[in-house]
Amino acid sequence: MTDTRSATLYRMILPEHTCPFGVRAKQMLEDNGFEVDDRILASREEVDAFKQEHGVPTTPQAFIDDERIGGSDDLERYLAT
């Protein structure tokens, strides 16, 4: 039996815009065997509140084992190690 690795991903999908970095981050996690808890930020207000709460400048933000990994570039570096 293998343990399923899980990650939580907060990403922006607004009616007029789907963030391509969020799509990329989700794909990278899935490609690396993670079960993704996909948390959609569906309004500018939700995005702004999330960024303020976590003290981050951008979305997406990936968390693995309750540790913030960061955005898609940070995630790519993390997964490469």
Q: Residues with Cβ < 8 Å from 80, sequence gap 6 or more?
A: none
Q: Per-residue pLDDT tens for 2-20?
A: 567 999 999 999 999 999 9
Sorted by where each starts, the structural domains of the chain and their CATH numbers stand as 5-80 (3.40.30.10)
pLDDT tens-digit map of 31-60: 999 999 999 999 999 999 999 999 999 999
Task: Tell me what the pLDDT averaged over the chain comes to.
Answer: 95
DSSP class of residue 1?
Answer: -
Map residue 25 onto helix, strand or coil: helix
The pLDDT of residue 4 is: 76
